[in-house]
Amino acid sequence: MGRTMGQIETVKGAIEATALGRTLTHEHIFVDNPELSANYASVRWDRDHWIARAKATFLDLKSAGIDSLIDLTVMGLGRDIPLIQKVAEDLDFHIVVATGFYTYKDLPAYFKTHGPGLRIDVPDPLHDMFVTDLVDGIGETGVKAALIKIATDSHGFTPDVERVFRAAASAYKETGAPITTHSNAAMKGGLEQQEFLRNEGVNLSRVVIGHSGDSDDLDYLRCMLDAGSYLGFDRFGMDNYLSAEKRVNTVVALCNEGYANQLTLSHDAAVYSINTEPDVRAKMLPNWRFDYVPRSVLPELKQRGISDEQINLMMVENPRRVLIRAL
């Protein structure tokens, strides 16, 4: 049975939006570079071991009061849906996955030859890839993506990044699927993302500007909020970018100004990442873990006067509103 309005796609199929519950909106389960891990023992990882670790992690997360997680591992980050399906087996926990392409600068060579006006002159395959993932399912898995993930960083809008954003915008217009981003807050990159997407015909209320919580510049954040987007305060535990105290201060300030209905909370963590292995993460950033928001951040917000209603907005209502398709 296909998704109907009011339902949200998960790894195990469509669920009623009301079943989503408390949700971490910007996470990763496994981040890989398949070419490296397939060819070099020095970076190979034991998938069965980490599948078991992921199951245990999410059982613990459920006990901490989290019901769902959005995995934003897309092409460019080693997306492997069959692995995620193995994690989701027998778990009373919802995992939502994405389509999109993660690059700060360049696309793979395939996209240099395939596309409008290129050597193989065809419609942009990125659009069809995104739409297929959203409508028909990813590969042979039958798992449908629920949203589109794209990125800009210090390189800004290179020609290839523009192409990804344009394909995301066209896929949004065809399917109604929301868009979520990786942005460089230090460069105020969210404003540039909003401008580009607005010019491509995207309703900014269907966009989450990711990593906005790396900034405590309230003027910058208010500008994006007033344009209509949700902001991801989604790197709690990454104290190398901004301290937990400053992140909490900023959430409190924005909630007190009435913006709780546009904020989401998460970590951008991973069970296993080939880029920063778990033992390295644990030593360098001990709070960068999936239970930091429910067990540390939410109690601190409540102590600072943030109401249960505001927390429910950030953890339940906003993720649900983001994920329900607009078409």
The residue ranking higher by pLDDT, 272 or 2, is: 272
pLDDT score recorded for residue 249: 98
Q: Residues 106-137: pLDDT tens digits?
A: 999 999 999 999 999 999 999 999 999 999 99
The arithmetic mean of pLDDT across residues 198-203, rounded, is: 98
Distance between the two ends of the chain, CA-based, in angstroms? 18
Q: Could you tell me the pTM of the whole model? A: 0.97
In a domain? residue 228: yes
CA–CA gap between residue 80 and residue 88 (Å, rounded): 13
CA–CA gap between residue 84 and residue 3 (Å, rounded): 20
pLDDT score recorded for residue 167: 98
In a domain? residue 1: no
In a domain? residue 184: yes
- Nearest-CA neighbor of 294 among 50, 2, 66? 66
Which amino acid would we find at residue 303? Q
Q: Residues 215-264: pLDDT tens digits?
A: 999 999 999 999 999 999 999 999 999 999 999 999 999 999 999 999 99
* Structural domain that includes position 290: 7-323
**Confidence band of 295 (pLDDT split at 50, 70, 90):** very high
* pLDDT of 164 strictly over 80: yes
The arithmetic mean of pLDDT across residues 86-109, rounded, is: 98
* pLDDT of 4 strictly over 60: no
Residues 6+ apart with CB under 8 A from 208: 25, 26, 178, 179, 180, 181, 229, 230, 231, 232, 264, 322
**DSSP letter string, 17-67:** GGG--SEEEEE-SEE--HHHHHH-GGG---HHHHHHHHHHHHHHHHHTT--
In a domain? residue 2: no
Contact at 8 Å (CB) between 230 and 322?
A: yes
Q: How many structural domains are present in the chain?
A: 1
**Confidence band of 1 (pLDDT split at 50, 70, 90):** very low
Q: What does R_g of the chain's alpha carbons equal in angstroms? A: 19
The arithmetic mean of pLDDT across residues 283-300, rounded, is: 97
Contact at 8 Å (CB) between 233 and 208?
A: no
* pLDDT of 172 strictly over 90: yes
Whole-angstrom CA distances from 120 to 114, 129, 207, 260 are 5, 17, 32, 48
Q: Report which DSSP code applies to 133.
A: H
Average pLDDT over the chain, rounded to whole? 97
Residue 312: which CATH number?
3.20.20.140
Pick from 130-134, 187-191, 276-280, 304-308: least confident: 276-280
Q: Give percent of the chain above pLDDT 90.
A: 97
Contact at 8 Å (CB) between 216 and 250?
A: yes
The beta strands (E) that lie in 113-228 are given as 114-115, 120-121, 147-151, 179-182, 207-209
In a domain? residue 190: yes
Q: Residues 24-77: pLDDT tens digits?
A: 999 999 999 999 999 999 999 999 999 999 999 999 999 999 999 999 999 999
In a domain? residue 227: yes
**Confidence band of 5 (pLDDT split at 50, 70, 90):** low
